[in-house]
Amino acid sequence: MDEVNIDLIATRLGIALGRELAIERCGVTDGFIGIGGHNTLYVDQAATCYRLRFRGTRDRRDEANELSIATLSDLDRSLARLVDALSWWGDRLDIRALENGREYRVLRAFADCGPGDRVRFEGAQYAPHDSYYSYSFMGGRGPVYLCELSPSEMKVIHDIDLFLEPSD
């Protein structure tokens, strides 16, 4: 396992994708590897390998996937699957990539918004005491809020690309 680490995993994936990937560290050996504003791949070091966890893609987006990588050969065998997941998620709209002041068209109903409505993203607010974010929008019917503490709103936050798209 000495030959494999989070930097090497990100470098190999970046080369395979032809894009630079971001690493957000959660310690010396653990962290997230992301593309396009998405922290798509969680990497943590176990006793004998690195575990790579990521969401499924397309119609299997709610599936949890995990791969164990102990050697470069393991990484090379897993590259195609990882590249597919990273590139698919990297092209999706993510809540962290919403731009303050930008208008978005509603694709599916949520809160007080219906398909075809337009909302302007006002920003994200972090509540450090409770460790959650809330997101605010201004719609035609007034303000709209999404909060990570609400399971139904978390579904919208988690899969925002199913609910919003940038307006032209």
How many domains in the chain? 2
- Residue of 16, 23, 3 whose CA lies nearest to 72: 3
Residue 105 to residue 108: CA distance in whole angstroms: 9
Q: Report whether 161 contacts 94 (CB < 8 A).
A: yes
Q: Report whether 159 contacts 165 (CB < 8 A).
A: no
State which of 90, 108, 135 marks the end of a domain.
90
CATH number, residue 130: 2.30.30.350
28 and 52 fall within a common domain? yes
- Residue of 86, 91, 73, 102 whose CA lies nearest to 33: 86
Look up the domain containing 23 and give its range. 6-90
Which residues, 6+ apart, have CB-to-CB distance to 119 below 8 Å?
103, 104, 106, 113, 137, 138, 139, 144, 164
Instruction: Measure the CA angle with vertex 76, ends 58 and 83; round to 5°.
Output: 25
pLDDT in tens, 35-93: 766 667 899 998 889 999 988 888 888 889 999 999 999 999 999 999 988 888 887 88
33 and 82 fall within a common domain? yes
Do the domain assignments include residue 57? yes
78 and 40 fall within a common domain? yes
- Residue of 69, 77, 76 whose CA lies nearest to 52: 69
State which of 90, 106, 136 marks the end of a domain.
90
11 and 86 fall within a common domain? yes
28 and 59 fall within a common domain? yes
Q: Report whether 145 contacts 136 (CB < 8 A).
A: yes
Range with lowest mean pLDDT among 4-13, 82-91, 122-131: 82-91
Tell me the residue ranges of DSSP E strands in 62-117.
Answer: 64-69, 103-106
73 and 123 fall within a common domain? no
State which of 68, 90, 112 marks the end of a domain.
90
Residue 168 to residue 150: CA distance in whole angstroms: 30
- pTM for this model (two decimals): 0.71
12 and 86 fall within a common domain? yes
Average pLDDT of span 104-123: 95
Q: Report whether 61 contacts 50 (CB < 8 A).
A: no
